[in-house]
Structure 1
Amino acid sequence: MMKETIIIDEMMQKLMSNQLTPGEKLPSENELAEKYDVPRMTVRKALTKLEERGYVYTKKGKGRYVQDKSGQIQLHLTGKESFTDKMLASGYDLRTENVFCQKEPKSSRMYKRLHADVNTAVYKISRVRYIDGAPIAIHHSFLSESVFPKIGVDGPNLTSLFAYYRDKGYQDFTSTQALLSVVFPTLEEQQQLACNNMTPLIMVESDCVDQVSDKVLEYTKIVYRSDKFKYDITMK
């Protein structure tokens, strides 16, 4: 394990200092095994971990190459625009697929988050976001029937919730809290985002509040593939 960690650390240093450039072919497993005086299996495990983290990729029958990070999507994590508006304004080919709409159990903490009466229903709506046909994020939105009486009917067909809010008369939005954390994907998320269990995800949790009425319109959990984005946290 110690030798494996040394290989990973040295390769990472070369990647971060641009001693290894995008598209460059890495030395073979045999060459690295000889260099570090370790079994070939140790090298393979180290390279596999670098590949799982998105730093290298394999060309079948040709070897491993340095991944190009220049194509990462710049995403501003703050601000009042919806994800859809941000992506379309930046010229990306965005597609959204609604994959889930179901009532939350009465014990769900989302009732408290939404200030919802337990006699009404809270719905969870999940959407997978695609850029250029590749899945890059999952948006989980929680809404209450007390604010949107027809959400149980409308929910399965929604792709842009900000557009839905505007259609219902809400125009100006704010957030009272936003939390960011790093998580690893569940099996379902691995399938939806076409990633492995070692791909870190950035999770952003926040509420959406109507500035006029001060109503909490939704609580959102968004998971982004960390290897697909550059995150802009500049305050605007």
Structure 2
Amino acid sequence: MEEMFSPEGFATGAGPLYLQLQRRIADAMTRGVLPPGASLPAERDIAAMTGLSRVTVRKAIEALVAQGALVQRRGSGTFVAPRVERLEQALSLLTSFTEDMARRGKSVESFWISRSVQSPTPEEVMALGLGAGDRVARLERVRRSDGVPLAIERASLSTQVLPDPDQVGTSLYAWLETRGQRPVRAVQRISAANLGPRDAELLGVTAGAAGLRIERIGYLANGRVVEFTRSLYRGDAYDFAVELKLAPDTERAPG
């Protein structure tokens, strides 16, 4: 720790001082000198040890926080972020979060934020094909795997499908399957998102961190819409992959 924050080695002509300090801290994390969960000294202490200004130290710390390498906890300090295993999910398979994690041999937990029956929003009316007077069951929860929060899931279903949202346990799809109403196909839309303060806190990342927004509409075999789910995934934990095939000759445009 003393070597990392030694005043020696900061050189003119080697780039801005905050970048030099940023590289030192990042290198210490790579080498294991600062393992996941380790706390950094207070900014004023780092400034005193390095001989740099507090503004320079703060700029280096803020850059690493923005990258997700460090996390700041109000009233506690600055810590090395835990390592999160990147997961790859195939978009060609219609699976639930629970099934996806089970195939990887990982545990699954749900932290329920809310379960309620409400009047539908205009967006829910359009997505679910609801009529006048229809109600929706809403499920909002944080999905965790091996104790790490990975996604926030907000599902809406007609109360004709799910009269009581408290009946759902770990897996919504498992509950729907017992009633013969599990989706057999879905349309998904994926977009980039910067996580707001509330969602970032739920996922254990810094506000403004990169995320993936996924909107899914699930259909039964007869074409009826059964679910409308909007999820936010941690951008540092998920890669989504899809297999592409060459279109048949009859569908390809010439030259």
**TM-score normalised by the chain length of structure 1:** 0.73
Identity of aligned residues (%): 19
The partner residue of 1:180 within 179, 187, 191 is: 191
Answer whether contact 1:7 1:43 (CA < 8 A) is retained.
no
Gap change, CA 1:156 and 1:190, over 3 Å in 2:
farther
Report the alpha carbon displacement of residue 86 of structure 1 after superposing the two structures with TM: 0.5
The partner residue of 2:211 within 198, 201, 204 is: 201
- Aligned residue identity for 2:158: S
Structure 1: tracts of 5 or more residues without a match: none
The partner residue of 1:88 within 89, 99, 102 is: 102
* Runs ≥4 residues deviating over 6 A: 31-34
Distance 1:123 1:105 in 2: 9
Structure 2: tracts of 5 or more residues without a match: 1-15, 73-77, 245-255
Deviations 1:51-84 (Å, cap 9, x if unpaired)?
Answer: 24322468xxxx976x675x41413051211111
> Which structure's CA Rg is the greater one?
2
Q: Give the SS at the match of 2:113.
A: strand
Q: Give the SS at the match of 1:111.
A: helix
Distance 1:122 1:234 in 2: 32
Distance 2:234 2:148 in 1: 11
Deviations 1:163-222 (Å, cap 9, x if unpaired)?
Answer: 1221111355211342322131342x2443333323332211111112x21111111111
Deviations 1:121-155 (Å, cap 9, x if unpaired)?
Answer: 02221122122223222110010124x1xx242x1
Alignment of 1:139 with 2:139, yes or no, is no
**TM-score normalised by the chain length of structure 2:** 0.68
RMSD: 3.6
- Aligned residue identity for 2:62: T
Structure 2 matches for 1:103-122, cutoff 5 A?
103-122=117-136
Counting matched residue pairs gives 215
